[in-house]
Amino acid sequence: MQKSIKDRVFNLLPPAMIAMVLAFWAFGPKALVDHPWAFTITSPLIVIAVLLLERVSERHAGWRMNRQEFFTDLYYSVLSATVIFWLTQKLAEDPLKAAKVALGIKTDWVMQMPWLAQVMLAIFLLEFGQYWMHRLMHNWTPFWLTHAPHHHITQLNAAKGAVGNPIELFLISLSVLALFDFNDTALFAAFNVMGVIAVFAHANVRSDPPIWYSFFFTTIRHHSLHHSTDYLSTRCNYGNSLILLDRIFGTYKEGEGVLVGQDDRRRLSIREQTLFPFQPMIDRYKTRRAASRTGGELAANDQSEPAATA
Ligand SMILES: [Zn+2]
Ligand SMILES: [Zn+2]
C-alpha cells in the first residue's frame, strides 16, 4: 500500500526531533543554552510537542487523551520534576559525588572526548543501568510491586512514561553518571535525546520510524508490545530508549500491542498506584484484624451462651 506524504513525514519525526535537540545543545545561542532554566523548559516542551502531534495523527482512538488521564499524567510529571528529582539528588547523586571526591576518582578524560561522543557515552551509561533495573523489576517480586502500576495503565500517550509508583520512579532514575565529568550541555542533550525516544515510544502517534532508527532506538511498536496483555511479551523489550540492548541481551521481541494493561485491565487510581507495593502488607494486616475481631466475637458468644441458658 502506498504511504501518504503525511505518514512519511510523521515516520521521520522521531529522528528529526533528535537532530533538533542535538543541534540546540551543540550550536544553540549561548544565552539560551547556558540559561539555568534551559533544561527545565526543554524536557516538558518535548512532551507537549508530541502530545500535540497525537492530535494531528492518532495511532489508536482507544488511547485518546481524556480529562482523567491528563490530570493523572500532569500529577506524575510534576512529581517527577520536583519530589523524585530532589530525592534522587539528595539520596543518590550527592553521596556519589562525595564518594568520587573521597576516593580520588578522576574522570577528566570524559570532558576531553568529542561532544557527540560524550552524549553517546551518557546515553549508554544511563540506558545500560535502566535496562537491567527494568529487567530486575520484571523478575523479582519486591521490585515488580513498584513497577506493576506502570503496567496497569490502560492506554498509552506521550506523557505516560512518567506514570508509575513513586518508588519505581526513584529507582529508575538511579545512575552512575555522577562519577563521570561530563560537559553540562552533553548531559542535557543526552537526557533530551532519551526523552524524545521514550516519549515517542509511549505516544499515541502514527509514526513508525525507518529501520535504521528502530534497530537502535525503542519505538512505540517495541514498547506497546511490552505493555500488552500478553504476559510473555511484557518480559521482552526492556530498553527505555536503546532497544539495541534487548537485541544484545536476547530479550528483543518483534511485534506491536494495541490492547494494553495488566491482569484484568482495571485502571488504577493515583492512590492505588501509590499504595500498590504495600497492598499485600495492608491486606494481610486487614485479614489479621478481621480474624482477631471475629475470634473475639466468637469468644464473647461462647461466654454469653452458658449465661443465657442458665
Ligand atoms: Zn516493564
Ligand atoms: Zn512504559
Distance 224 CA to ligand 2 centre (A): 8
pLDDT digits (tens, 9 = 90+) for 210-250: 999 999 999 999 999 999 999 999 999 999 999 999 999 99
**How confident is the model at residue 270, as a pLDDT?**
97
Distance 203 CA to ligand 2 centre (A): 10
Distance 128 CA to ligand 1 centre (A): 15
**How confident is the model at residue 303, as a pLDDT?**
62
CA 246 – CA 231 distance, rounded (Å): 17
Taking Cα atoms as reference points, which of 123, 98, 67, 60 lies closest to residue 260?
60
CA 264 – CA 278 distance, rounded (Å): 20
Distance 147 CA to ligand 1 centre (A): 7
pLDDT digits (tens, 9 = 90+) for 98-118: 999 999 999 999 999 999 999
Distance 181 CA to ligand 1 centre (A): 31
Distance 280 CA to ligand 1 centre (A): 20
Which residues are within 8 A (CB) of 304 and not within 5 positions of it... i.e. 6 or more apart? none
Distance 238 CA to ligand 1 centre (A): 6
pLDDT digits (tens, 9 = 90+) for 242-301: 999 999 999 999 999 999 999 999 999 999 999 999 999 999 999 999 988 887 777 777
pTM of the shown model: 0.91
**How confident is the model at residue 304, as a pLDDT?**
54
Distance 150 CA to ligand 2 centre (A): 6
Distance 181 CA to ligand 2 centre (A): 30
Distances (CA, A) of 178 to 17, 90, 116, 122, 175: 27, 12, 19, 10, 8
Q: Which three cell numbers stand for residue 169?
A: 520512579
Q: Given its phi and psi angles, is residue 104 left (phi above 0), alpha (psi -120 to 50 degrees) or beta?
A: left
Which residues are within 8 A (CB) of 227 and not within 5 positions of it... i.e. 6 or more apart? 151, 153, 156, 234, 257, 260, 261
CA 174 – CA 88 distance, rounded (Å): 7
Under 8 Å between Cβ of 33 and 185? yes
Under 8 Å between Cβ of 169 and 162? yes
pLDDT digits (tens, 9 = 90+) for 160-196: 999 999 999 999 999 999 999 999 999 999 999 999 9
Distance 178 CA to ligand 2 centre (A): 25
